[in-house]
Amino acid sequence: MNRILVAPSLLSADFGNLQRDVEAICNADCDLIHVDVMDGHFVPNMTIGSVVVEPISKIATRPLDIHLMVENNSFFVDLFAYLKPKYISFHIEEEKHPHRLIAKIRELGISPAIALNPHSRIEDIEYLLPDLDMVLLMSVNPGFGGQKFISNVLDKASRLKKIIVEKNLSTVIEVDGGVSNKNITDLANAGVDIVVSGSYIFKSQNIKNAIDSLKVIKN
């Protein structure tokens, strides 16, 4: 598809009305549902485990995009695998054996992805690119919704896209944090394929209009 795919982040949903909000984003034609899993160790916040994601997966009519922000990646991959998400992303900063974990995720029938914090270098994951279906570039420091977009990610995404094209790979680039209608054109021009957006979508007057405003044509 030649437009940006939109993955609303449930972190900004109303956790007292999760069913209502999951149905709202699916009815508004989102492309993926982004689920932020935080363990209170890798990031200074905690969210949800499979006990809550399981009912979400039953309501959802779009694939799940699970973003692990945890210390023990392998344990959490095992915890969520039975829910058959489309993607599981883990942070490179927290993984001693990324190659092994990528292979494990793929063997489970899930698309493996690596997430990079704003300070992490794309050079550190370049050798892993042929084995990855997606790279998640953080445009905020992970842990919370509603933070300011760090615009350095645009240059990082452009450089990563160049490498992916040069190597003739099909790895997609996802950007997560502070995404809104204000930066979506720049993200599209940088070669980004998927955007995660939480507060912009869930705090808008009209969820469908907000999602539509991010579905721009890619470079």
Q: Identify the helix (H) or strand (E) that includes residue 202.
A: helix 199-202
Q: Per CB under 5 A, does 193 bind Zn ion?
A: no
Q: Per CB under 6 A, does 92 bind ligand DX5?
A: no
List the interface residues with ligand DX5, window 21-40 (CB under 6 A).
Answer: 34, 36
Nearest 10 degrees: CA dihedral of 62, 163, 155, 118? 60
Residues 6+ apart with CB under 8 A from 87: 32, 63, 64, 65, 66, 110, 111, 112, 113, 133, 134
Instruction: Give DSSP secondary structure letters for 95-161.
Output: -S-HHHHHHHHHHTT-EEEEEE-TT--GGGGGGGGGG-SEEEEESS-TT-SSPPP-THHHHHHHHHH
List 146, 150, 169, 218, residue binding ligand DX5 (CB under 6 A): 146
Q: Per CB under 6 A, does 57 bind ligand DX5?
A: no
Please choose, out of 17-25, 48-56, 86-94, 140-148, the segment that lies near ligand DX5 by the rule CB under 6 A. Answer: 140-148
Q: Per CB under 6 A, does 85 bind ligand DX5?
A: no
Residue in 21, 31, 65, 176 annotated catalytic? 176
User: Nearest approach, Cβ of 115 to ligand DX5 (angstroms)?
Assistant: 8
Query: Which tokens sit at 214?
Result: 């991010």
User: Nearest approach, Cβ of 176 to Zn ion (angstroms)?
Assistant: 4
User: Nearest approach, Cβ of 83 to Zn ion (angstroms)?
Assistant: 17
In the annotation, is 131 catalytic?
no
DSSP state of 195: E
Residue (of 2, 12, 3, 42) closest to 176 by Cα position: 12
Q: In this complex, which beta carbon is closest to ligand DX5, that of residue 127 or of residue 177?
A: 177
Q: Per CB under 6 A, does 196 bind ligand DX5?
A: yes
Using alpha carbons, list the distances in angstroms from residue 9 to 108, 113, 167, 177. 24, 17, 31, 9
In the annotation, is 176 catalytic?
yes
List 117, 120, 147, 158, residue binding ligand DX5 (CB under 6 A): 147
Q: Identify the helix (H) or strand (E) that includes residue 66.
A: strand 64-69
Q: Per CB under 6 A, does 91 bind ligand DX5?
A: no
Q: Per CB under 5 A, does 133 bind Zn ion?
A: no
Report the C-alpha gap between 99 and 144 in whole angstroms: 28
Closest-approach residue to ligand DX5 (CB): 198
Question: 134-138 and 87-91: which strand pairing?
Answer: unpaired
Query: Contact residues for ligand DX5 (CB under 6 A)?
Result: 9, 11-12, 34, 36, 67, 140, 142-143, 145-147, 176-179, 196-200
Query: Contact residues for Zn ion (CB under 5 A)?
Result: 36, 67, 176
What positions carry a catalytic annotation? 36, 176
